[in-house]
Amino acid sequence: KAGVTQTPRYLIKTRGQQVTLSCSPISGHRSVSWYQQTPGQGLQFLFEYFSETQRNKGNFPGRFSGRQFSNSRSEMNVSTLELGDSALYLCASYLDGGSYEQYFGPGTRLTVT
Amino acid sequence: QKEVEQDPGPLSVPEGAIVSLNCTYSNSAFQYFMWYRQYSRKGPELLMYTYSSGNKEDGRFTAQVDKSSKYISLFIRDSQPSDSATYLCAVPGAGSYQLTFGKGTKLSVIP
């Protein structure tokens, strides 16, 4: 079974621009969560989607948004990029329904200059 | 107090040593506990998943949960250079799939 895929793997953007990251979950998984990983803060929860609905949101500004499509693929968007948004953005997929095992993709490394 | 605390290390051990990695947590409602392994420039890989108190063994890896002291541990026996990575403990919230992670412990196993 193919794992979680994330595209693109690397991105370089300029302050003020916006960016869209994509995540394809493991086949059969209907839930997707997004996390931001930085050296200083570690892994921090961004948001969670189940069946195209945002179920939970972390403590991030409104510039961070996401959505999930009917095929369970998910995108996250960051508008008006700031230098502090440079991070590894990770997507995790899981089955939902009682199992808490979550499987991560390789991440998208975003650099904001 | 942070919900999950983990000594960031770094931890350096000789090949073949027994490694002990630890986390503490503050919320007694936590029931599920996970350990992830993350190699440099890769995504975290789910290593062990345990429910409630007790031990779970998988090959050279043993996960241990002590709910009375809110302490979780990962033991690696006969450590190998390929075990060199950052190890992260994680817990989902009560009734939630949102994971709270420790900061991670960077382990180096020296040949």
In whole angstroms, what separates CA B79 from the centre of its chain?
15
- Measured between CB atoms, does A31 come within 8 Å of chain B? yes
Confirm if B101 and A33 have CB atoms less than 8 A apart.
no
Give the per-residue pLDDT at A95. Answer: 87
Give the per-residue pLDDT at B53. Answer: 82
User: Which residues lie closer than 8 Å to A30 by C-beta, 6 or more apart?
Assistant: A50, A51, A72, A95, A96
Candidate from B46, B88, B102 with C-beta closest to A103 = B46
Confirm if A105 and A4 have CB atoms less than 8 A apart.
yes
Least confidently predicted of A17-26, A32-41, A93-102? A93-102
Q: In which residue are the tokens 């609905």 written? A: A53
Q: Kindly write down the DSSP assignment for every residue of B31-84, as one continuous string.
A: -EEEEEEE-TTS--EEEEEEESSEEEEETTEEEEEETTTTEEEEEESS--GGG-
Give the per-residue pLDDT at A1. Answer: 66
Report the alpha-carbon distance of residue B93 to residue B60 in Å, rounded. Answer: 28
pLDDT band at A99 (very low <50, low <70, confident <90, very high): confident
DSSP state, A104?
E
Mean pLDDT of B65-71: 93
Count the Cβ atoms, other than its own, within 10 Å of residue B96.
Answer: 13
User: Which residues lie closer than 8 Å to A37 by C-beta, 6 or more apart?
Assistant: A43, A44, A87, A88, A89, A90, A107
Candidate from A31, A58, A105 with C-beta closest to B97 = A31
Percent of chain A's residues with pLDDT above 70: 98
Report the alpha-carbon distance of residue A95 to residue A22 in Å, rounded. Answer: 19
The encoded tokens of residue A100 equal: 């808490």
**Residue pLDDT, tens place only, B8-66:** 889 999 999 999 999 999 988 888 999 999 999 899 999 999 988 889 999 999 999 99
Answer yes or no: do A43 and B46 touch at CB < 8 A. Answer: no
pLDDT band at B1 (very low <50, low <70, confident <90, very high): low
Give the per-residue pLDDT at B89. Answer: 97
